[in-house]
Structures are given as C-alpha cells and as structure tokens.
C-alpha cells in the first residue's frame, strides 16, 4: 500500500476550519455588527476579498497552467462537470421548491452548483488515491481561473435579481473586487511570487482569517435583516439530503463518464475528485459580492456541501488507494501521453 494512504486519518472528524466557520456564525448570531460597526465590517470584508483574489493571482503559476493545456481533454471534462453538469442539476432541483427547499435555500443551492472546483483537496485526494496529481493541479487551477469569470456570469443569468442581475453596478463590483485584484496578482507574480511561496503557511492563516471575516459580515447582515427566521431544522435536514444526492450523482457521473471518454484509472481519479467538488474559499467571497445582505443564506448550502464532500471523498480516496496497480498499457489510454510533468506535492 502506498505511503500516501497514511495521510488520511483513521477517523473522519469535523474539519477544524468548518468548526471555525460555525463558531464565526455563532458569534455573528450573538453579536451581529450593526450601525457604524457594520459599516466598518463591510469595508474590511471588501478589502479582505480583494486581498484573497490578489493572492490567488499571485500564486497561480501561469507557466504551469499553460503547460497543462497539453492535457486539454481532461481539463475540458472537469470544466464541463463543474460549469455544465453541476448547473444543470441545480436547475433541475428547482422542482423541489417550495415543498423541499425554500426559495432562499434553493438560491444558495443553485449558487453552490456554479462555483469553481477546489485545488488543495482535489490534489490531496488524488495523491492519496494514486491518481494523476499533475492533472489535478492543472484542472483545479483552470477551474479557479475560469470561475472568476464564469461563476458571476452564470449567477447573474440563472439567479436573476437575487444575484444582482446584469446591472452595471453588479458587474462593476465583480470586476473591481474579483478580477482586478486577480490580474494585479498575476502581473506582480514575477516580483512577489517567491516571497509568497516562502511564507505559504502564514498566508494560509491570512486566507482563512479573511474568509472568516467575510462570513461574519455576511451572517451579521443576515441577522440584522432577520432572514434566518426562514430556516428551520427540518428544512436544513432536507437540504442535506438533497446535497447528498447531488454529490452522489456527480461522483458517479465523473467516474463512469471519464471511463466512457477513454481515460485511464489515474486520469479518472483526477477527473472525479476535481470535477465533483466545490470551492468554499472561492465561493464565500463571490457570494458576498453577488448577494450582499442575503449572502448568509446563499453560502449555507456551500458550507454544508464542503464538509460533506471532504468526508465522502476521504473514504473514496482511501478505497482507491487499495486498487491493484494498473497495467502500463491501460495507463497509456486516453490522453496519458499528454500528461504534464509536475512534482508531486505530497
């Protein structure tokens, strides 16, 4: 058995970061920011979002992303799962309103289906399962890059007024808070990339702290507006059930769909883990920009789905790690010849 399987704990506790997020929600419920404090929190949250996307741009290796284009069929498959299959399933769930999902929860559920894939967890699970790690790195990077443009546009088109529509003001906010900082990070990467790489651990705390601030601001606004009275424990239970079905469908679709497309085992693992998950780190700031005071309900489905995908994918990755070695001929199937050579981060 590969040494990488030891990276997975024998038990699957709640992600500590999810606990921090839930704690932040609790603080916002008990001590919501209002008045001048709310204005200060909103300003700090706006700055935090800009910082997050600047760091995303500064960390993304343009050369690595361009090299990954050689494995274009795999990346198109992941992008199709993330920005086509997921949204179609989200639209199909509209039939569950209002019997199963309230309109507000459905808006958050549909937004969940529009955000890009993860990078870190896709790489980690692909590594544990002995999949194509370089492909997972590039696929996650492409998805995050595409999501900066596609997620706001899809949200504006499919969620309508709930996400600000196609108004000039909403598009300007997207450009100024998301796209401009990202492009600035890319332009400054030759000068700041090495500095950021050497301080990756510290900047990880900056990332997470910024997101916690965004969550606190969003949930404070929700508490002040009284929108949380719309959610009951029964509705939350139904939401979890719907999300469990969504995750099961996408895990099945990416695994067997990749096989039908001729990908080998290693590539199928990368497609499954990169194509079935959603990024909390990217989704939370985007929701804050797109939904404003209603962002708290919009991000609730994403927070729940994020924890669910980690737990389920951890189990799948551990099982995949026990698979017998694939014959060399099978590893060369599909686009294997186009595999990118990038050092394994594990």
Q: What is the mean pLDDT of residues 3-8?
A: 42
pLDDT at 328 over 80: no
**How many whole angstroms separate alpha carbon 113 and alpha carbon 88?**
8
Residue with the larger pLDDT of the pair 226 and 126? 126
Look up residue 342 and give its DSSP letter: -
pLDDT band at 87 (very low <50, low <70, confident <90, very high): very high
- Tell me the helices (H) and strands (E) count for the chain, helix number first: 16, 0
Residue with the larger pLDDT of the pair 135 and 1? 135
Q: In this structure, how many other beta carbons lie within 10 angstroms of the beta carbon of residue 297?
A: 25
pLDDT of 4 reads 42
pLDDT at 326 over 80: no
Query: Tokens representing 117?
Result: 């894939």
pLDDT at 32 over 60: yes
pLDDT of 8 reads 43
**How many whole angstroms separate alpha carbon 138 and alpha carbon 144?**
10
pLDDT band at 291 (very low <50, low <70, confident <90, very high): confident
**How many whole angstroms separate alpha carbon 130 and alpha carbon 107?**
36
Q: What is the mean pLDDT of residues 288-298?
A: 74
HEC string of 62-123?
HHHHHHHHHHHHHHHHHHHHHHHHHHHHHHHHHHHCCCCCCHHHHHHHHHHCCCCCCCHHHH
Q: In this structure, how many other beta carbons lie within 10 angstroms of the beta carbon of residue 145?
A: 18
pLDDT of 227 reads 64
pLDDT at 196 over 90: no
pLDDT of 233 reads 85
Q: Which of 78, 185, 166, 89 is nearest to 122 (CA)?
A: 78
DSSP E strand stretches across the chain: none
Domains, the chain, ordered by start = 16-322 (1.20.1530.20)
53, 285 Cβ separation under 8 angstroms:
yes
Query: Tokens representing 91?
Result: 């639209």
pLDDT at 191 over 70: yes
**How many whole angstroms separate alpha carbon 64 and alpha carbon 75?**
13
Percent of the chain exceeding pLDDT 90 equals 25
pLDDT band at 220 (very low <50, low <70, confident <90, very high): confident
Cis amide leading into 6 (omega within 30): no
* Helix runs in 292-343, H state only: 295-320, 328-331
């Amino acid at each position: 058995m590969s040494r990488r399987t030891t990276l997975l704990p024998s038990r699957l506790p709640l992600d500590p970061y999810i606990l921090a997020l839930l704690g932040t929600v609790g603080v916002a419920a008990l001590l919501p920011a209002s008045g001048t404090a709310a204005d200060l929190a909103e300003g700090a949250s706006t700055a935090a979002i800009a910082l997050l996307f600047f760091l995303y741009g500064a960390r993304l290796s343009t050369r690595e992303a361009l090299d990954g284009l050689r494995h274009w069929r795999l990346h198109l498959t992941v992008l199709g799962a993330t920005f086509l299959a997921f949204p179609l399933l989200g639209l199909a769930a509209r039939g569950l309103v209002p019997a199963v999902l309230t309109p507000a929860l459905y808006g958050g559920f549909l937004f969940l289906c529009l955000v890009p894939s993860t990078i870190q967890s896709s790489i980690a699970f692909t590594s544990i399962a002995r999949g194509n790690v370089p492909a997972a790195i590039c696929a996650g990077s492409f998805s995050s890059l595409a999501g900066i443009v596609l997620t706001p546009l899809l949200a504006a088109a499919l969620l309508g007024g709930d996400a600000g529509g196609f108004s000039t003001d909403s598009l300007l906010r997207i450009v100024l808070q998301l796209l401009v900082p990202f492009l600035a990070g890319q332009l400054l990467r030759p000068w700041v990339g090495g500095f950021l790489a050497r301080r990756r651990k510290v900047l990880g705390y900056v990332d997470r702290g910024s997101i916690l601030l965004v969550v606190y601001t969003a949930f404070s606004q929700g508490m002040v507006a009284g929108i949380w009275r719309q959610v009951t424990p029964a509705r939350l239970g139904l939401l979890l059930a719907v999300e469990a079905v969504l995750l099961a469908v996408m895990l099945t679709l990416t695994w067997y769909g990749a096989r039908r497309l001729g990908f080998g085992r290693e590539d199928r693992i990368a497609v499954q883990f990169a194509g079935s998950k959603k990024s909390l780190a990217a989704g939370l700031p985007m929701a804050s920009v797109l939904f404003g005071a209603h962002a708290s309900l919009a991000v609730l489905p994403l927070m729940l789905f994020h924890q669910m995908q980690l737990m389920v994918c951890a189990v799948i990755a551990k099982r995949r790690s026990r698979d017998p070695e694939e014959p060399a001929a099978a590893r060369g199937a599909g686009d294997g010849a186009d595999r990118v050579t990038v050092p394994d981060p594990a």
